[in-house]
Structures are given as C-alpha cells and as structure tokens.
Amino acid sequence: MKISFIGAGSVQFTTAVVHDITTYSALDTAEICLMDIDAYRLKKITECVERIKREMNSSIRIIATTDREAALTGADAVICTVFNGDVDIWQHEILIPKKYGVDINVGDTRSVSGIFRALRNIPLLLDICHDIERICPDAIMLNYTNPMSMLCKAMQTYTKVDVTGLCHSVQGTSKMLAKWAEVPMDEVKYTCAGINHMAFFVELEHKGKDLYPLLRQRIEDPEYYNKEKVRNEIFKTFGYYVTESSGHNSEYTAWFRKRPDLILKYCNEKGANWNPGEYAFSLKLRSDPERFDKLVDEFMKKELTKERGHEYAANIINARLGDHTPFPFNANILNHGSVENLPYDACVEIPVIADENGYTRVYRGKLPAAAATLVSYTASIENLVVEAWANKSKQMVYQAVSLDPLCSAVLSLEEIKNMCDELFEVNREYLGDYR
C-alpha cells in the first residue's frame, strides 16, 4: 500500500497521521511518500517521520520527493494539506479587509478572506485531482486544506476523484462538551450535522440523558461562559452547540465583529480557550519565520505512545483499504438530500461510516429551523463562490462577498466592490483573468 502526503510540510498533521498509521497492523507495512515543493521542509518532516518509524518499531517504508507525479504514481491513498501561495498572500487577505473596517480572526474558511482563499485554492486542488484521475484513478483522497466546504464542493462537482474532507472540530468540540458535563467522552452519544465549522450537535446524550440542560446551567458560570463567549451566545440563542472555535465563528456571522466594542466584549482573551477571536490570530502565529523549526523541535522532543490521536485519516484509510474495520466520522460530502432543509447541492458535514465500500451516509433529516436558516444561508453563499470560480465571474464574487454576514454588516455595496478589486489585484498570480 502506498499512502502519499501532498503538502507534507505540515508538521502537526503529517506527524499525527503517520503516527496513527503505525498503530494499525494492516497499514504498518505501507510505503509513506512525503511530497512537498519546499526541499528544506521536506527534509525536516522526513526526519520527523523517520523518528516515528524508529520509536514505534514500525515497518513503514519512507520516501520523499518534490515531484507530485512521482508521489501519486501507484498511490492508494492521498492526503492533501496544501496551501496555494504563502503567508504574504494570506496577509493581504487580512490587511485589505481591515483597511475597509472588516476585522478578521483567521480568514481561512468564510467571509471575504475565506472566499478569496477558496478562489485561490480551488485551481490547485483541482489540478491535484486531475493528476489523480490520470495517474492513480482508484486512489482515495482525504483533504485537510481550508476552506473545506468550498474546496470539497469544487472537487466533488468537477472531478471523479473519491474525495472527502476532514476536520477535527467535531471531535474537538464533543470532547470539550463532555469535559464540561463531567462525563467520559467514550460514553457520549452525539449526532452533529450542518456544514464544516458550522455544524450543530442536534443530539448530545450520556447514557440516554440529554446533556443540554446541564450545559445550559454550566454556561451561566463565568468560568465556562468565558471559555467560548461567541459559541455560548450562539448556543443560548439557537439552542444547539456549534462546532469550531469562538474565534472562527465570530467572523462567520454579523453579531460579534462589526464594532470595536463587540470585539472587545466577545473576542477578548480573558478566560478563553485557544482562539477567542483576536485580530489576525492564526496569521500572527504563522508569520513567525522560526515557527516551522520550533514545531519540528517540539515534535522531536515529545514522547510518542501507542495511543491514537484524534485525526480521522488513518482510521479511514484502515477502514477503506486496511483491515476494513468500519469507522464512523463526520465527512464533508455533497448533500444530495441528506440534510433535507439545506441546499441539495451544497457540501455538508454529516455522519457517515467508512468501510471497504466507501462512505455510507447514516444521517437523514432536518436541522432545527433556526439553525437550518443560518447554515442554509452560508451554504448558499459557498455554492455561489464555487459558481463564481467556474465562470471566472467578478460579479458573482462581488455578490458572494456582499451577501457575507460580516461584510454586509460593516460595508456598503460600493465599498465591498472596491475591497474585492484590491484583493483581485494582489491575487492576480493565483486567480488568473476574472471578468
């Protein structure tokens, strides 16, 4: 079996997934191909993976290449963690909106920054998919690149690749809520559905008991409320808990970042979890020129155990290609009626079971009405963005950004068009000729 990592220079993702691969006997003789266009990153990540092989007493075979075609030749599974461009492009996509008054926390999934990131990354992801169609058409592809919904929508619409997208917000949030409820995570039963970073836990139980009444009490305590101010406010209003951090969610809606006083109130760091909503939070982390080397050093010093991590990828590869043990997870796939009150052709994040036959949907139903209205609106914007890319239409991009809740809460239509024109200019190398 050959498992290829395209964009292998992501220390946290690559090491976590390779580690988990070595814990499966059916995968432990696989060839792990690490591919990255950055030779230095490739060298260092190879050293990390070689450490995993040694300390896990694994039989994996490790190869490294800067050649994507070589990496895909003979591949059975492809894991994608690419980024089209560099931090300088991301910086423009944060700074230009700020100049117009749109304050961005991360900018990798939604609002104006996420929309232009999608337009920039769709061509690269489709190029990779077309290579897979040509070189290894039977391979499965697992995507970790954001913006997840729009990229998966494009890949699943315009290619024949067996692809789904993976995110850890569902398992991360369920673990957090179990901790708040003071119950063991492995005893919590939940159903989570919606779209990536905006899926709602429509069921959350422990031994048949609904955990929501207890959680409503918990967030009245400042200790818990302050950890996730944005998500707790959404929970209080909509009645169900949403995936992904408060920082991310603060830029997906109109309620938390349209005025400086609201940012100060809901997006400050006091008592908060990892991402409360600070301006340019992730960009600041990744702008550190020594960050990659620091992450490598941290990994080389950390203790490795036989315990699997929380990333889905190795479990899915084992279910699809290894010993075929079925694995339930939340996949990013085209809706096709699974969530009845979301757009039929939207990319949704719903429970499925992976096995040798593919991904079996185990969710069909409706989201609660208020949550569905919020999610459906966002999903419709994402569909419009993919259509804008397909038509190379500036007008459709203007429309999508104009409909974005945060941008529409802050800017006039004329200001949105001017902001977009500046972003088109700085992205010219990646976007090509939009009309």
Residues taking part in catalysis: 168
Query: Do 398 and 416 touch, CB atoms closer than 8 A?
Result: yes
> For residue 228, how many other CB atoms are within 10 A of its CB?
27
Helix (H, G, I), strand (E, B) or coil at 148: helix
> For residue 160, how many other CB atoms are within 10 A of its CB?
12
Query: Do 112 and 105 touch, CB atoms closer than 8 A?
Result: no
Compute the distance between CA of residue 210 and CA of residue 189 in angstroms, rounded to an integer.
10
Cis check: omega of the bond before 123, within 30 degrees of 0: no
Q: Which amino acid is at 215?
A: L
Compute the distance between CA of residue 322 and CA of residue 25 in angstroms, rounded to an integer.
8
Compute the distance between CA of residue 30 and CA of residue 9 in angstroms, rounded to an integer.
19
Q: Find, among 362, 316, 337, 270, the residue nearest to 162 by Cα.
A: 316
Query: Do 145 and 80 touch, CB atoms closer than 8 A?
Result: yes
Helix (H, G, I), strand (E, B) or coil at 64: strand
Query: Do 328 and 306 touch, CB atoms closer than 8 A?
Result: no
Half-sphere exposure of 194 (CA within 13 A, CB side): 29
Give the CA-trace dihedral at 367, 145, 117, 192, to 10 degrees: 10
Q: What Rg, from alpha-carbon coordinates, does the chain have? A: 21
Query: Do 169 and 320 touch, CB atoms closer than 8 A?
Result: no
Read off φ and ψ for residue 358, nearest 5 degrees: 120, -135
Query: Do 310 and 15 touch, CB atoms closer than 8 A?
Result: no
Contacting residues for 275 by C-beta, under 8 A, at least 6 apart = 105, 106, 245, 246, 247, 248, 281, 282
Pairing of strands 198-206, 209-210: antiparallel
Q: Find, among 230, 195, 175, 231, the residue nearest to 348 by Cα.
A: 195
The CA–CA distances, whole Å, from 339 to 206, 286, 297, 298 equal: 24, 36, 44, 42
Most distant pair of Cα atoms in the chain: their distance? 61
